[in-house]
Amino acid sequence: MSTTYTLDTKTDRAHPTPKPMKRLTVPAIRDRKTDGKGGEPLVMLTAYTVRMAQILDPHCDILLVGDSLGQVIYGLDSTIPVSLDMMIAHGAAVVRGSYHSVVTVDMPFGSYEASPDHAIASATRIMKETGAAAVKMEGGEAMAETVAFLTARGIPVMGHVGLTPQAVNILGGHKVQGRDDATAAKVLADAKAIDEAGAFALVIEGVLEPIAVDATRAVSCPTIGIGASAQCDGQVLVIDDMLGMFDRVPRFVKKYDDLSTRIEDAVKHYAEGVRSRSFPGIEQTYQPK
C-alpha cells in the first residue's frame, strides 16, 4: 500500500489517504537500458518537498532527492556542507508525497567515503528513516568496492561519474570533463567500474557528448545524462533550474518555464491588494449570519 494525498477542503491541508498503486522498482529501472536505440528513456527530476513530489511523481520514473538542495533550498555555496540529517528529512518528505516513482536519495559528502562500513551505516539510516528505494553515491573506481558492498547487502546504489559536485575542490570548479585524453579515459573507467560493482543506474554529468555516448554503450546499466547526451538512457535536471526559478543556470539546462517572474508578479499583485485594502475582500472574510 502506497500513500498519495488529497486536499481536505475544511483545512486546506494535505492529508495522507491510502491509494493502492504499485511503485516502479529498482529492477524495473535497470531493465530500461536502451543504448540510445528505441525504448523509452528514463525521466528523472529532483524533488525536495512533499508538494513538489506530488506534482512530479505521475510524470517521472525516478525522483532524486539531490544534495543540490544545499544550494536550491538552503542557499549554500556548494553541496559540501549538506548533512545526512538534511538528506533524510527531505527524503522522507518526498517518499510521503509520491506513490509511483523510485525515490533515490543522495548520500552527502562525508557520509560514505571513509570505508564500506561507514557507507552502509549512513545508507541504512537513509533507507530506514526515509522509506526510499535507493541511494546515490558520487565517485568512480575509488568507490566501486563500496558500491559492491552496499549492493550485496540489499541497498540499491545509483552511481554518479564525470563532473561530481562533491569533488569540486579537486576538480577546480564545475568544469566539463573529458576534454583531454586522460579525463576522457577516467570517465569511461569510472563508469565501467561502478557498473561492474552492481549499480542499477549511473548518472553521467558534465562530460563531452562523445564520451557520454561511449560510456553509455560501455555499461550494462542505464545511464542518466545531465549535461551529457540525448543518447543516454534517461535524463535528469534540477527541478528549480528547469522551471526558471534562478536566473543563472548551467549551460545544459533548458528552462521550460519562468516561474520566478510569474511568482514575483503574483506577489506584486498581492502586495498591491493589501496596501489598497482590496484584499481581503468579502469572499475571504467571515461574515455574521
260 is in an annotated binding site: no
**SS3 track for 93-117:** HHHHCCCCCEEEEECCCCCCCCCHH
Helix (H) or strand (E) holding 218: helix 209-218
Backbone angles phi, psi at 237, to 5 degrees: -140, 160
What amino acid is encoded at 28 in this protein? A
229 is in an annotated binding site: no
61 is in an annotated binding site: no
In DSSP terms, which residues pair with 203 in a beta bridge? 160, 224
Answer whether 103's CB lies under 8 Å from 136's CB. Answer: no
CB proximity list for 12: less than 8 A, separation 6 or greater:
none
111 is in an annotated binding site: no
Report the alpha-carbon distance of residue 112 to residue 125 in Å, rounded.
12
67 is in an annotated binding site: yes
Closest to 134 in 3D by CA, of 107, 155, 108, 117: 155
Mark whether 205 is an active-site residue.
yes
Residue 196 C-alpha cell reads as: 561492474
Report the alpha-carbon distance of residue 259 to residue 174 in Å, rounded.
25
Active-site residue identified among 113, 141, 205, 283: 205
CB proximity list for 280: less than 8 A, separation 6 or greater:
none
* Annotated binding-site residue numbers: 67-68, 106, 136, 138
Residues in the annotated binding site for 3-methyl-2-oxobutanoate = 67-68, 106, 136
User: Which sequence positions are flagged as catalytic?
Assistant: 205
Annotated binding site for Mg(2+): 67, 106, 138
